[in-house]
Structure 1
Amino acid sequence: MGVEEIVLLNAADEAVGTAPKAESHHRETPYHLAFSCYAVDTDGRVLITQRALAKRTFPGVWTGSCCGHPGPGEGLRGAVVRRLQDELGIPDESLAVMALSPVLPAFQYRAVAEDGTVEHERCPVVRATVPAGTPVTANPAEVEEAAWWTWRECLDLAGRPESSPWYRLQLAELAPLGPPLDWPDAGTTGLPPALPW
């Protein structure tokens, strides 16, 4: 397996180069491309995860279903499917019928961890609607715990310090949209120029 690279961005969210992911997250992390995904089942429950305690950045925080960094030339849909498989073991039969839609295509944030590590990302948020009963097999290198939560539980988490900073910022924008199955599809025109659908 090759070195995972992130896509570096300028202020216009255009790709300006790449860098090794493992070496790029520090106190002066460059602005780069990422995404967040909320897996929502057809009963309206949301897959919430706790980041693995061994992760170098933001270990142990509770957050959405998965996040990741699209690779150079990789589209958003492909990156989301890859991380749903790698982090959560979502089976092929669920992915085959999954409905994927951007809900916060313009989201970006900067956050500083307790150890000083910075995240600085253009991070479109997508909803992946999957069948109720979809099994999850968490990758222990990525995920400490994973469970399907009610929307009320998700809203409560946003008010607690153990949630990730990006989760809190995203929920501030998602909560006014109503329950997850009601989130409108924002379309792809608001995605950054560096990220094809």
Structure 2
Amino acid sequence: MSEQVILVDKNDNIIGVEEKLKAHQLGLLHRAFSIFILRRNPELELLMQKRALTKYHSGGVWTNSCCGHPRPSEPLMEAAARRLKEEIGLSIPLKEIGTFTYKAHVGNNLTEHEIDHILIGYWEGQLTAPNPEEVETLQWHNLNETLAEMNKHPSLFTVWVKEGLEMVVNFTKK
């Protein structure tokens, strides 16, 4: 069975479901999440992934630690825990810090149109090998240096990661 996403209105109220690829072909607004895993070393760092080249869009560019879409009837935090384990092999507590909505063309005649729930977690341990179908590589990146690099070279990063990272930086300053 093909993956489905939850279609939502501008207030994140569920209005239906659609096959994931079709939702991206039509640019339909759907629910998503982006996970940002942090550590102190001694400054705050973000675990970033370079997406696998074989991904259906945005392959070979840097993004946040993990992202995905809840399945119909799947609570957001359960979906996030599932994807975090599937992509990078971690099971850690996550906290939602906010949402934002964006719409952007991502290549291959696809459009991301999402209400993106931003989740954070902390990890100080060893990393396991990520799922090669999802992730080319994982690396820790200094938060402030990464934001500066995103401003200089936005094409090296996914279209959603900068706004999410800015939310994370603002949250960690509280």
Short-chain TM bin: 0.7 to 0.9
Take 2:85 and 2:17, find their aligned partners in 1: how far apart are those partners? 24
- Cα 1:115–1:20, aligned 2, differ >3 Å: closer, same or farther? closer
Give the C-alpha shift of residue 165 in structure 1. Answer: 1.2
| TM-score, length-scaled by structure 2 | 0.87
Cα distance in structure 1, aligned partners of 2:7 and 2:146? 31
Structure in which a larger fraction of residues adopt strand: 2
Query: Identity over the aligned pairs, expressed in percent?
Result: 31
Contact 2:34 2:164 in 1 (8 A): no
- Unmatched 5+ stretches in structure 2: none
Change (3 A) 1:17 1:183: farther
Aligned residues: 170
Report Cα offsets for 1:47-105 as digits up to 9, x if no partner. 10111111111211211001000111211221111111111112xxxx2xx332112x2
| Displacement after TM superposition at 1:6 (Å) | 0.4
Distance 2:17 2:173 in 1: 33
- Give the distance between the partners of 2:40 and 2:74, measured in 1 at CA: 28
Residue among 150, 166, 183 paired with 2:142:
150
Q: Which residue of 2 aligns with 1:167?
A: 161
Name the residue aligned to 1:24: 23
Q: Are the counterparts in 2 of residues 35 and 124 from structure 1 also a CA contact under 8 Å? A: yes
Counterpart residue number, 1:127:
120
Q: Could you tell me how far 1:138 is from its partner in structure 2?
A: 1.0
Residue equivalent to 1:59: 59
Corresponding letter in the other structure for 2:28: P
Provide the residue aligned with 2:93 in structure 1: 99
Aligned to 1:195: none
Output the CA distance in 2 between the equivalents of 1:21 and 1:183.
35
Which of 57-66 and 105-114 deviates more?
105-114
Distance in 1 separating the partners of 2:2 and 2:107: 27
Runs of 5+ consecutive residues of structure 1 not aligned to the other structure: 185-197
Alignment of 1:63-74 (within 5 A): 63-74=63-74
Cα RMSD (Å): 1.9
Q: 1:136 to 1:46 in 2, by over 3 A?
A: farther
Does structure 1 residue 109 correspond to structure 2 residue 102? Answer: yes
1:10 is aligned to 9
